[in-house]
Each structure stands twice: as structure tokens, then as C-alpha cells.
Structure 1
Amino acid sequence: MEKVYANPLTHQFLSLFSDDPKTLDPLRYEKLVQEANGDMRILLQRIESEYQLVVAPAFSDWVNDPQPVWSDVTYLRLYLDFTPIAQKYIHPEQKPYILFDGAKASLYPCKVPNEKLWETLSDLVVHYQDLLGIDGVRIDMGHALPQALVQRIIAKDPNVCFIAEELDIQNAEHIKAQGFNLFNGNGFSGGVRIQEGQAKTFYTTVPTLALPLFAYSESHDTCRTSARVGKKKMNDLCTTINMFLPNTVFFINSGQELYEIQLMNLGLDCNEDQINNLEPSDPRYRKLALFDPFYFTYNDFDDTLFTRIQYLQNYRQTYIDSIKNKWYLDLAIIDDSKTKLAFALEREDTYLLLVANLDLFNKQSITVDTTPLHYKGINIVLSNDKDQDMLLPTLQLDAGEVILLELNKT
């Protein structure tokens, strides 16, 4: 933030801000409120025409993020003073403004909370519980709220599942201490970078974390899985692993099951070139679903992944307690590499063994150390070749294949 505030362009930006309409002319503002009759759009339009002011749009809390400005929302003024880091850079008469430190109040808290606003925000979860009967909530940009406010919100009802929009899995302990029950994580990046070795590390690290996270390879803010290296094969691989990954909550992004390739937003782990994934003749070419009219191709699509998810859901439900409680074995692999993965979920009378070839372009022979598994019978749950003799400990896997075997305990 020091570099941001020291930049001359920042001072030009800050000079654009003004006092709010009510402060500038209370009587005229009250008249506009009455004329708008509760319609916020009309009120904002009248403020723009009467005061020549617009509400500052929100934006990503990451400096130089390529995604567009969030023109349909704004940031709330959580504090009545400015951040300490800004004090030596701003003019004493500076009007209220929003910059990256204000957007990330979790890192840059001030000293004077906007108490009336904090009270309102603290009551929102209870309001939606009463109105809609919700049992969990992910507050958009909740990771950017000051910790004191987060704890106040959670204290209203500790039985609600609070989801943190936290991407760094190394912060699991920290956000658990804040009172969150679940977090986003970075499966959309860590779980798809196979050749760099990140995917293997991600899948073996997640079960050991202090807090559960979403098991997902894409979201409405990221690149589409089917648009990455390996295309549909990457999607099949990641989705299958994510369905059974211990210590996670399985998450599917709308359209992922249809192998959609057009991303919804230029938000996370993507670049501006990916807006061109579709052919120019497609009506959705260069369109983003978060900003433009959009549709998915339900009328004519490859249903391979859709069917697989339906089929495997029963097995996932059978082993859901194992996934939640981390009843699993991280199995060693002979001649291990960054493209070989194996683990087993455990129940009272069975194991579910998952063996994955993370190499999207080459077949592999994978030998698993099954010494910890005491079994007498094998049921093939998922395999490209169900006629293959499943002679453990060595399995032959196609490129990007996941084999699932249910083993009966002795």
C-alpha cells in the first residue's frame, strides 16, 4: 500500500471523491429520498443528475487484477476514520474514499468502527435464517472484513456454517481461529497444475488441514477446467478426485458438468485471452456470464461427466462420514512421481481405494503399497476397462484415468 499511496495517480483518484449527498445538502437529499419512494435505482439516478455524483463502484481487492470493475456493487464504509498507513499520504481534509486498504479491512483495520453499520451487518445472518431458513452462509468478500466484525457476526448464531472466501490453504489454522467452519481454498489452481507438481501436493495436503475446504477445480471467478490443458480429460480427472477427497465439501460450478469452456468472469487464475475461448460465430463470444446475457448448451452436450457424477454420488454418500471425519489412508506408491496418486477411504467393513493417473497424455502402471489394507474381495466401482484383472498392488491406467475399487475387509 505504501507504493500505491506514493503514486501521483492515486492522489488524482482521491481528489475525485466528495462528501455524501446528505452531508452536502440534507434537505434536498431528503426530498429525493421521498420522491424515490424506496426505489434505490431512482434515488441513485436523481443523485447523479442533482449532485453530479455517482456511487464509487467496487473492485477486486488484488492490485492490478485483470477482472473488470464491479460496477453493480460498492464497498460499505466500515470505519469512520482512515487506515493508519494512509495518514502520512492523504490531505487532512480528504473526503471519504475507497482504495485497496479499505477493501481489505481484514489487513488494514482502522480505529473508529461505523457502529450502526456493524450492527446491521451482524443481524443479516439472523434475518436470512428467519426469512429463508438458511443453515450456512458465505459472505461475499467476507475474508476482507475486519476480524472483530466477523467474530461479532458469528457470535449471533454459532450453529450456522460460516464459509470463508479464503484462497490460501496455509491459512486454514488462522481462519479456523476466527470462527469459520469451511473455506474456499485454491483447488482451481493448486489442483490442476499437474506438471508443476502442485496438483499432487495439493491433493495430499488437503486432508491434513485444520479446516475443511471446497473440493473444486473451477468457480464462477476462474478459468473453466475444460479449457485447461487436457480439456475434458482434465475435467473428468479433477471432478472424480474431488468427489472423494477427504476433509472437503464437493463443489460443482454451473456448466462444468457440461464441459463448458467459456469462463464467467476474469477473476482468478485466468488471463484476458481466455475470453476468446469460443468461436466468433457463437453468440456468447467474448461474453462473461457475470456481466452479460448468457446460456449453457443443455440441448446438445457430451453427458460423460454428467452421468459419472450421477453414478458416483451413491458411493460418495456411502463414504461421506469417511470424507468428513478424515477416515482415510494416504497410500505409498512404488516408483512414486508427481503424476501418481493413491488413497483409501475407510469404513467399518470396506475400503474405497482411489488410484489416479494425473498424466493427461500417457498411460501409466501404478503400484500401490496395499500393506495397510486388509481385504479379501474387490468390487470395481470405476474403470475405463472393467475387464482388466484388478491384480493389486499394480494397476494399468489410461492417461488421466481414475480407478475406484471397493475392497471388502477380512
Structure 2
Amino acid sequence: MSPKKQHLEQLLKALEQLTIGECHESYHVPRLWQETAKGQHTVNPARYYHDIISRLVNSPELPFDNSGAPADEWSRSAIVYNLFPRLTTAFDHDNNNIISADPMASGFRETGTLLKSIALLPYIKQLGVNTLYLLPVTEPGYYGKKGALGSPYAIKNPFIIDPLLSEPVLGLRAEIELQAFVEAAHHLGMRVVLEYVFRTASVDSDWISTHPDWFYWLKGNSEENQQFGPPRFEHDTLTRIYEQVDKHEFDHLPAPSEEYRNQFSEAPLTTRLNPDGSMTGIAADGKECRIASAFSDWPPDDSQPPWTDVTYLKMHRDSSFNYMAYNTIRMYDAALDRPEVINNELWSSLESIIPFYQSTFSIDGAMIDMGHALPSALKAAIVEKARQQNSDFAFWDENFDPSSSVKEEGFNAVFGSLPFVIQDPIYIRGLLNFLNKTGSAIPFFATGENHNTPRLCHNHPRQETGRNRSRFIFALGIMLPALPFIHSGMELCEWHPVNLGLNFSDEDRRNFPSETLPLFSTGSYDWSRTNDLEPLNAFISKLLVIRRRYHDIISSGEKGSLIVPFVTGPEILAVMRKGEGHNLLFIGNSNPQEHSSGTMEFKNSHFTLTDLIGGQTLRVADHKLHLELQPGECLIVELTAE
């Protein structure tokens, strides 16, 4: 047994045992998982997955891109596919139009699993991907959970993998299947990055009974605290809060009202687990107290409802700050920046999480959820501990600013702001001009969507408009000093939101309650019909080949390496990437519904260009290139540097 593939071979052996008998239950899978075809076909699941994994195990091992390179270098060349395993490989295997949360009679699941994620790896590799980024895979909490499955951000135990990600029929723990997944990805030359949640836990966290002082508690029981929510601030106080935070002045940040602060209890002396799964504490005065559920802590006048299944971890021990508010769970009043009030045992446990995954699962990097809202000393310690174990370990931050300050913290990439400017070409130009002026110290994610934003096809379900929009954004993204980022389902023109996080309307919130959102409940992609449109797989693969060819030019974050040439058509966007001896020019129609025309001027009077995407010839005459672009159409051409 190969040490590099021991868990993968263990998985294969379990499947071999199952192939001895026949599966008497119809089990349908999308053809696209293994073929470039729409539709689905019926298979014996054990034989189907056994054959895929057997071929994978017996295939030649592929090296990593930039094997042995420092984290900065391999992160900059990462081409990312973002999986939420519970959703990405979910499918209606019995064709009854329902994705069941319970296993089928055969013992296989319809919700996404790590076994099915392994089977999807050849498909992902064929796109041109070299890095896999997984949303949290740890066990979620059960009490107060959103939807049928609960939020993956309600972490019940950061050291236990979600049992729902295993296939019961195999008789293997989810931990074994995650180890097999990483081994399979590495065999195919793909690195694995996991997302970690350090600021919050589930309201029924396993840590509560052993470490009640790691949490915020409310006086009274759940019935007495039904109205608990975020603090409210008067207008003048809000103004002062915003002014101080904007100036990074964290001394004496305005606190919530005394009435709000008095809702909180000191940590209880004992706790008990109630029949409904909730936790009750008994304080020193003998009175009951309960865990405080979380809420959106910034802006301080945010009106989002509480997160019923999540609570904030109490990072500091200071009786003057025994409450949840922006100045204790995000901005941190300067008075908390003292060694004697650090919740040391909690910090030590948080610092140990990533090293555990490094040694147990051999992962290659970590995405830190809300890293900008962690105490800076804790964040630094998390990075340091992981780098002590693997100096090439990458850190990505859920941060919108690709600045040098984030790089100095030890991070190699950030989420960035591209999804928030894609609604208007004026805003896109603003971002591009900003990048030209300031440069980009570290790369950001080149994507128009993630699990918290609307899908690019959100307002255009099953329409060519959404496909055109996706083509334009992805083609633009591969030209930026950024990481090409495929939010799983984007290549299928998926339109249904995963979660209602940012940039959603009130109408969206009415139309998509938690039980319809696959971040919390069962759901699947349109794998077999792909929304009646051709998937974007071939287009994506072609663009990624172009990016690899011109990686040195495109990946540069130097000031002045990205310019925005003038085009007379307001909806046509051009981006020039400057290199030594030759430049790369992107031209795209940002309008996904109508064709656009425009003109660009060049220094040389007459020459021809060849579009690297479609192969068409473009002619510059009298210094002018006249453009007629179809909705969402994009061109990329190589130019001799002038």
C-alpha cells in the first residue's frame, strides 16, 4: 500500500467489497461528471465509483505547478475551484425530484459527499484547475440550526469532520474519506485549501460544557431571552463610532447601552445539556443563563436578523467588556489589547486547529473566514504555528484589500472586491484604474460570485444573458493580477443563490428563505440539463490555457502593469497588461444582452491582430480598430510593446 494513497486505497477496498453484490436500486448520475455530455445515466454506484477511483489510483502521479515553491509563488499561480462538498456533488440519484437528507436504501447519499467529490476531481482537473478550495467541512451544530442541515459556519467541533460527508454504505468515517480526497487531489497535481472559522462556534458547541468561559452568556433561560438581538445606537453615537473606526482610533469606542450590557451574565459554574439540544448554565448566584446567539456586528446599525445557530467566541476576559458588540468581537477596544486579558487557553486551542489538519490531512493552505475580525495577535499566532509545520503553507484572507499590510501579516491572497463592482462598467473601470495606480501587493480572487453573493446568472435563470455575463467576467478576471476562481456551478450557469449574504434585495430575501438555500438545506446543481445551455467548460479551459501561457505578464501586481485604454463605446471595456517586449490586450462587451460597437486607437497605423480565444483576425487601419462585439463577447490579443 502506497503511503501517499493509503486512505484512497482503503476507500477503493471498501468499494470492491460492495461490487460483489449488485445494487437493486436505480442510481442516476450526471453524464457530465465523466463525459462532455448532457443528461444522466443509470449505474451501479459501487462499480461506478470503484472504476473512477481505480483509474485515478493507477494513473501516473502528476506534479504540482511550482512544486516546492514558496506560498507566495504557488498562490499567485493558483487556479481555484471552490467546492462546498455537501452541495457541489449533490444529485437526485433516485429521480424522485427530491434531494433527501437521509441515505438511500442502498446506503449511498443524495447530498454531496467526499466520495463523490473524489469522483469529480478528473472533471475539475480537465477544466485547468490546480487548486481546490473547500468551504468548512467540520461538523455543524444542531440546536437552532438554519434549514434542514444547518450552517457549515456553526462549528460544533473544529476537529471533527461532518459525518454527512461520508457514504454510510462504505462503513468509513468522514475523516478517512477526507484523507482519501486530499490524496486523490495531490495525485492529480492539485493542492487543497480548507476554510476555517475561528471567530464563532455553534450555540451547542462541544466546547461549552468544558470551557464555558470561552462564550458569552445571557441572564435567564431561552424563553426569557427570545427578544435578544444586536445593540441599538443613537444617531450621534453611530456617527462617532464610524468616525473613530474610519480613523482606526480604538480608544474608548462607544459601548452599547447599560440596559443592553446588563443582559449578559458572567460565565456559569456548571452547564447542562437540555433535551432539545440547547445548553443551560448555572451562574454563581444559582440563576440560569444561556448562550447568546450571534448577529451581524458591522455596521453597528445592521438590520439583519440574529444567526440562531451561531455564537461568538469570547476572545478576552475583562469584566468591563462582558458583552457582544462591534468593540469586543470585531474592532476590539484598545483596552482589550493587554496580555493579561487574553483568553489564553481559547487562543491556544484555536492556534492548534490548522496544525492538526496539516498533520492529519496534509492540506496545503487555509482560507480564514472573517480574518480581518480576529485580534491581530491571534491571527499572527495562527499563521506562525502553521508555518512552523510547513513553511510553504498558504494563507488566504476574507479581506477586500490586496494591500501590502495584509501581505505583511503573512497572507498570500485575499478575496478582493471584484464581485461588488461587476454591476456597472464604470465601477469596473474604477477598480482597474485603482489597481493601475496602486498595484496589487497580493492577488485577489478573479470571480464575479461566491457563496455569499448573487450568482452571475441570478437575474437570468436559464437564459443566454446569464451565460454571456459569466463569459465576460471570467475572461476579464484571467487578465488581472488575481487568481482565476470558479465558484462551483458557475461553469454550469447556475442561478440559484447558495446564501443571501451580500448584494441581495429585499425581494430576494422574500423569495429565498433559509429552507431553500443550499448553504443550510438540501439542494443540487443542474448537472444533467445545465440550465438548457451549453456549459462553459470548454470556454474556461481555453482561457486558462491562455493565462498559463502569459502568466508572467498577467500575474504581475506592479504599479503601471495594468492600464485601461480608451474605447469610444461606453460598454466595451479594454485592459492592457504590459510585459517586456510584448503586451496582452483584453477587449470585452460588458453588456450581456445587446451588441456594442466602439473604436480604439493605436500608435502604429496598419497591422493585424489574431484573437487568442476565437481565432478571428482583427485589422487596424489608420491607427483605428473598429469593434462590433456580440453580447458578452471577449477578445484577447498579443501586441508588440510600443
TM-score range, shorter chain: 0.7 to 0.9
Deviation at 1:269, TM superposition (A): 1.6
CA contact (8 A) 1:57 1:73 kept: yes
Q: Does 1:131 align with 2:360?
A: yes
SS of structure 2 residue aligned to 1:325: coil
CA contact (8 A) 1:164 1:180 kept: yes
Residue identity opposite 2:447 in structure 1: Y
Residue identity opposite 2:396 in structure 1: I
SS of structure 1 residue aligned to 2:636: strand
Report the counterpart of residue 402 of structure 1 in structure 2. Answer: 634
Alignment identity in percent?
26
Q: Deviations over 1:313-346 (max 9, x none)?
A: 2222222332223485525225474x33223446
Q: Does 1:75 align with 2:312?
A: yes
Q: 2:293 aligns with which of 42, 57, 70?
A: 57
SS of structure 2 residue aligned to 1:137: strand
Q: 1:241 aligns with which of 463, 472, 476?
A: 476
In 1, distance between residues paired with 2:515 and 2:632?
30
- Alpha carbons of 1:77 and 1:286: their partners in 2 closer, same or farther (altered >3 Å)? closer
In 1, distance between residues paired with 2:378 and 2:372?
11
In 1, distance between residues paired with 2:289 and 2:537?
49
Report the counterpart of residue 565 of structure 2 in structure 1. Answer: 332
Q: 2:348 aligns with which of 119, 129, 134?
A: 119
In 2, distance between residues paired with 1:329 and 1:255?
30
Deviation at 1:311, TM superposition (A): 2.5
Q: TM-score normalised to the size of structure 1?
A: 0.76
Deviation at 1:42, TM superposition (A): 8.0
Aligned residues: 369
Q: 1:99 aligns with which of 306, 322, 325?
A: 325
The answer to which structure, 1 or 2, has the higher relative contact order (CA under 8 A, 6+ apart) is: 2
- Alpha carbons of 1:107 and 1:313: their partners in 2 closer, same or farther (altered >3 Å)? farther
Deviation at 1:241, TM superposition (A): 0.9
Q: Does 1:232 align with 2:471?
A: no
Deviation at 1:231, TM superposition (A): 3.4
- Alpha carbons of 1:233 and 1:201: their partners in 2 closer, same or farther (altered >3 Å)? same
Q: 1:267 aligns with which of 501, 505, 513?
A: 501
Report the counterpart of residue 303 of structure 1 in structure 2. Answer: 534
Q: Deviations over 1:96-153 (max 9, x none)?
A: 3322322204576613211122222223222222122222211112110111222222
Q: Where in structure 2 are there 5+ consecutive unaligned residues?
A: 1-230, 239-254
Report the counterpart of residue 148 of structure 1 in structure 2. Answer: 377
- Alpha carbons of 1:13 and 1:346: their partners in 2 closer, same or farther (altered >3 Å)? same
- Alpha carbons of 1:66 and 1:408: their partners in 2 closer, same or farther (altered >3 Å)? same
Deviation at 1:67, TM superposition (A): 5.1
Report the counterpart of residue 368 of structure 1 in structure 2. Answer: 600
In 2, distance between residues paired with 1:106 and 1:137?
24
Q: Deviations over 1:3-62 (max 9, x none)?
A: 3797999655544433334x2x3xxx5xx6xxxxxxxx8899373498865432233332
Residue identity opposite 1:219 in structure 2: N
In 2, distance between residues paired with 1:254 and 1:102?
35
Deviation at 1:409, TM superposition (A): 8.1
- Alpha carbons of 1:129 and 1:3: their partners in 2 closer, same or farther (altered >3 Å)? same
Deviation at 1:178, TM superposition (A): 2.9
In 1, distance between residues paired with 2:344 and 2:495?
45
In 2, distance between residues paired with 1:43 and 1:153?
36
Q: Does 1:343 align with 2:575?
A: yes
CA contact (8 A) 1:221 1:268 kept: yes
In 2, distance between residues paired with 1:4 and 1:118?
34
Q: 1:390 aligns with which of 606, 614, 618?
A: 618
Report the counterpart of residue 37 of structure 1 in structure 2. Answer: none
Deviation at 1:77, TM superposition (A): 1.0
In 1, distance between residues paired with 2:540 and 2:478?
8
In 1, distance between residues paired with 2:522 and 2:289?
28
Q: Does 1:320 align with 2:551?
A: yes
- Alpha carbons of 1:107 and 1:199: their partners in 2 closer, same or farther (altered >3 Å)? farther
SS of structure 2 residue aligned to 1:354: strand
Report the counterpart of residue 281 of structure 1 in structure 2. Answer: none
Q: 2:490 aligns with which of 256, 279, 289?
A: 256
In 2, distance between residues paired with 1:276 and 1:46?
29
CA contact (8 A) 2:421 2:428 kept: yes
In 2, distance between residues paired with 1:256 and 1:200?
23
CA contact (8 A) 1:340 1:356 kept: yes
CA contact (8 A) 2:613 2:636 kept: yes
SS of structure 2 residue aligned to 1:225: coil
CA contact (8 A) 1:376 1:408 kept: no
Q: Where in structure 1 are there 5+ consecutive unaligned residues?
A: 33-40, 91-95, 279-283
- Alpha carbons of 1:16 and 1:325: their partners in 2 closer, same or farther (altered >3 Å)? same
- Alpha carbons of 1:68 and 1:295: their partners in 2 closer, same or farther (altered >3 Å)? farther
CA contact (8 A) 1:266 1:272 kept: no
In 2, distance between residues paired with 1:130 and 1:231?
42
CA contact (8 A) 1:276 1:286 kept: no
In 2, distance between residues paired with 1:231 and 1:285?
24
Alignment of 1:183-222 (within 5 A): 183-194=414-425, 197-206=426-435, 208-222=439-453
SS of structure 2 residue aligned to 1:231: helix
Report the counterpart of residue 19 of structure 1 in structure 2. Answer: 266
In 1, distance between residues paired with 2:315 and 2:475?
42
SS of structure 2 residue aligned to 1:210: coil
- Alpha carbons of 1:296 and 1:400: their partners in 2 closer, same or farther (altered >3 Å)? same
Deviation at 1:191, TM superposition (A): 2.9
CA contact (8 A) 1:343 1:355 kept: yes
Residue identity opposite 1:311 in structure 2: K
CA RMSD of aligned residues (A): 3.8
- Alpha carbons of 1:348 and 1:74: their partners in 2 closer, same or farther (altered >3 Å)? same
CA contact (8 A) 1:107 1:144 kept: no
SS of structure 1 residue aligned to 2:352: helix
CA contact (8 A) 2:569 2:597 kept: no
